[in-house]
A and B are shown apart, each in its own frame.
Chain A
């Protein structure tokens, strides 16, 4: 049942993005940026928590979940240290993901050669 919910929720996020790409010729980068900001906003108004409770990985694996993590971590940091938390929270909460993406990408660039197109 967890898997079905994850499939449906995660699939729905991809479906919506695909509709935008097909109908408006919007670039992938804009989709990623919009989804992250939407994730922060939806978490901020308290709505995204319900999506996560229902969809599990279907809600956290899409890039919207990155926004969710940013906002949740910011909230926790503000609760803990006040206004300073607005600056420290987001990046602290997502540090593992960003560091992993950077470190791994560097390693992949060491190992792999670019493909001729």
Chain B
């Protein structure tokens, strides 16, 4: 953010009678900082998320060229990215990329892998049953529950519609 821009708006506020005192300015600056941080975050998320999808596309093309059907290739891409996301979580790299990319690593399937692998590894000290196996589903649990629920509801609606159509 350029300084002249801030000055100009500050003056404009003064003209309308709103005194730009210290507190006002702090609020204004914080708001500005938040907005520019958000724009930067969004750019990073877009770029990293896009790149992960490009990697997915490359893997998909690779699996298809190796003779996999399109559907199987999609499944293999998911499995590969889940493998990669978990591995990077284990060696501590995922956290670093995640801090930089925000939603860019969360939204691709790598984020799902991280959401399972990270609590599994972190809670190892609590034992395998109560630590690893239980905590594994802290975030994945809700995702699977709501996903299954939504697909079951869709299945029933779809069934009713096909019956009505006949």
Q: A residues near B, CB below 8 A?
A: 2-3, 6-15, 17-19, 21-23, 28-29, 31-33, 35-37, 40-41, 43-44, 55-58, 60-67, 69-71, 73-75, 77-79, 82-83, 85-87, 89-91, 94, 96-98, 100-102, 104-106, 108-109, 111-115
Contacts and interface: CB of A to CB of B under 8 A. Distances in A.
Contacts of B82: 97, 100-101, 104
Contacts of B125: 114
A73 B90 CA distance: 32
Contacts, number: 273
Contacts of A21: 41, 102-103
B139 A28 contact: yes
A36 B77 contact: no
B112 A112 contact: no
Output the residue of A29, A86, A109 with the most chain B CB within 10 A. Answer: A109
B57 A44 contact: no
A32 B132 contact: no
Interface string B136-157: 1001101110111011101111
Interface stretch (B6-14, B16-24, B25-33, B44-52): B44-52
B78 A17 contact: no
A114 B124 contact: yes
Contact of A61 (B46, B77, B136, B158): B77
Nearest to B84: A104
Contacts of B46: 11-12, 14-15, 18
Nearest to B106: A28
B126 to A, nearest CB: 10
Contact of A29 (B52, B57, B115, B158): B115
A90 B116 contact: no
A18 B41 CA distance: 7
Contact of A57 (B34, B56, B106): B56
Nearest to A2: B57
A7 B158 contact: no
Given A57-B56, A112-B91, A82 B121 contact: no
A18 B49 CA distance: 11
B61 A28 contact: no
A71 B154 contact: yes
Contact of A63 (B34, B38, B112): B112
22 contacts: A10-B50, A14-B49, A17-B103, A18-B104, A21-B103, A28-B106, A31-B106, A40-B154, A57-B57, A57-B59, A61-B52, A61-B77, A64-B107, A82-B159, A87-B155, A91-B148, A100-B78, A101-B82, A101-B140, A108-B89, A108-B120, A112-B90
